[in-house]
Structure 1
Amino acid sequence: MAKKDELRNQREGTIINATSKRQEKELDKALVLVCERLLQKFPGIKLKHDKQWLLKNVVSALKEIFPEIDFYYYHDTSFMKPDGGILNICDKDDSKYPILIAEKKNQGTNDLRIAEGKGKQAKGNAIERLGKNVIGFRTALLQESIFPFVCFGDGCDFADDSSILDRVVTIAMFGRLNHQYLHNAAGSRFNRGSFYFRVQEWTASEMAEICYSISEKSVYYYYSKYDETSFF
């Protein structure tokens, strides 16, 4: 059975989403390449990779930074879990500073349905879930002047004539797709993040190049803001 056929069948609970799992592995490969390059570029740097970010930790940090603002969450076990996790650098006190938050989304089976003579299905599920995570990560990094978030999306739902692209653009605060936005703009009011979307599947090497660029610049940002000597 083709991978996209498996993706369609998961709605009935028969199998796991093989397409997404395979592509997450490609993102994992990309992250390994990124870490190798960072360790070569910044000897002595301490990297920490987290698979998830607990909401209670986000809220705790926000309350300390913005004591005049009310923050709330319900459950201690709730978390945000991007497909590629959160890559951090650590200072001498083991405090963590995110340099890369990576997501990977595949969406679209209508190409298969049309080939089979069937009608199109509704689009958008993966993107709606993405929007929730982006809100959370943006809020978690409000104290910084960068937003080292990147999402790679591929599949027929992201063709040039697809309305889904405008949903992605909206999540990107109306920034351009396939463009890197790391540093916040207009007094940090626009902490957009980077969104790379197309029909063709992203390879590990392609994602690694983009992820490394974001990570490297993020390291320099923290070195400048908090003093490089704080990290060694």
Structure 2
Amino acid sequence: MADSNILRKNKNQHKPKNNQSKFDDKNISVAMSKTIDYIKDRFKNIANFDDYDVVFEKSLSIEYMISNIKQTNIRKQFDTSYSSNSIKPDGGFLLLTKKGDNSYKKLLLAAEVKRQGTNDERAKEGLSKQAQGNAIERLGKNLTGIKAMMNHEDITPFVCFGHGCDFDVNSTTVLAKLSTMNEFYYLNKTYVFKIDGNSEHNKFSPVSMYFRNDEWSVEEMFNVMKEIAETSLRYYIF
């Protein structure tokens, strides 16, 4: 049987990380709230914008994501075994809806925030290095689902803000994983529209992947998020 003192020590080791994650979640929530206010104010005098609404949702069901793909009639096979599950990025989803049309729900922005890396703090405490974390692996699941859902659109309005020593400029192994996840497009650059490719449904879909050692401020996240959300909205209604 495991020693109770060891179990208690392991549990306590996660408390700082959990508190830090809550801090990150709060900051990106504030940035998302500012983005909503910005979009509503930016377009309030645009003709016909009264027909639309901008809403926030913390999660999207796999059932909805599959139904979104089905509407295009460009794909026939779907594994619906897990339709009751959902994906829940840290920053949630910003959606464009249309009044009087419950089937109209367009993605304006999906946002994530990831913290990874404790070796800088461990070094200060004279402790040995730990293996690098798996925040980006968790990121990959949500990103894959969103890319599939948005395959038929010309935009992929997704952003992730990552920070921690694992994302330092010298952490080439981790940064290489992120570059691969982003289809070998640049990190720390905003992408909304699909680019390159040679047919309607064979374009590359880079997303906005912002990663560094230092934390991202609310204002920094907001400045990127509002650009993505505004570009997406213009794509849908103009």
Interval of TM-score (by shorter of Structure 1 and Structure 2): 0.7 to 0.9
What is the rounded CA distance, in whole Å, between the counterparts of 2:94 and 2:163 in structure 1?
Answer: 22
Name the SS for the 1:103 alignment partner: strand
Counterparts of 1:82 and 1:11, CA distance in 2: 25
Letter in 2 for 1:178: N
Partner of 1:218: 232
In 1, Cα distance between equivalents of 2:152 and 2:88: 21
Task: Summarize deviations over 1:134-179 as a string: whole Å, max 9, x none.
Answer: 1000001111100000000001111111121111111111111110
Q: Is the 8 A contact 1:63 1:70 kept in 2?
A: no
Question: SS of 1:160's equivalent?
Answer: coil
Which residue type is aligned with residue 203 of structure 1? S
Determine the structure 1 residue equivalent to 2:31.
Answer: 30
SS in structure 1 of the partner of residue 192 of structure 2: coil
Secondary structure in structure 2 of the residue aligned to 1:176: coil
Is the radius of gyration larger for structure 1 or structure 2? 2
In the alignment, structure 1 segments of 5+ residues that lack a partner are 1-7, 225-232
| Aligned partner letter, 2:54 | L
Letter in 2 for 1:199: N
How many correspondences in the alignment? 217
Question: Which residue matches 1:103?
Answer: 112
Secondary structure of the equivalent of 1:17?
A: helix
Residue 10 to residue 196, structure 1, CA distance change in 2 (3 Å): farther
In the superposition, relative to structure 1, how do residues 158 and 144 fare at CA in structure 2: closer, same or farther (>3 Å)? Answer: same
Q: CA deviation at 1:69?
A: 2.3
Listed as ranges, the matches of 1:1-232 within 5 Å are 10=11, 17-43=18-44, 44=50, 45-66=52-73, 68-92=75-99, 93-94=101-102, 95-162=104-171, 163-187=173-197, 189-224=203-238
Residues 133/68 of structure 1: CA separation in 2 closer, same or farther (3 Å cut): closer
SS in 2 for 1:27: helix
Counterparts of 1:68 and 1:106, CA distance in 2 = 36
Question: Structure 2 regions of 5+ residues with no counterpart?
Answer: 1-8, 45-49
Q: CA deviation at 1:124?
A: 3.5
TM-score in terms of structure 1 length = 0.87
Q: Name whichever of 14-23 and 89-98 sits farther off.
A: 14-23
- Give the residue type in structure 2 aligned to 1:51: K
Identical columns (%) = 37
Deviations 1:109-149 (A, max 9, x none): 00111122222111141011111111000001111100000
Q: Partner of 1:5 in structure 2? A: none
Please say if residues 35 and 222 of structure 2, whose CA atoms lie closer than 8 Å, have aligned partners that are also in contact. Answer: yes
- Give the superposition deviation at 1:76: 3.4
**Secondary structure of the equivalent of 2:152?**
coil
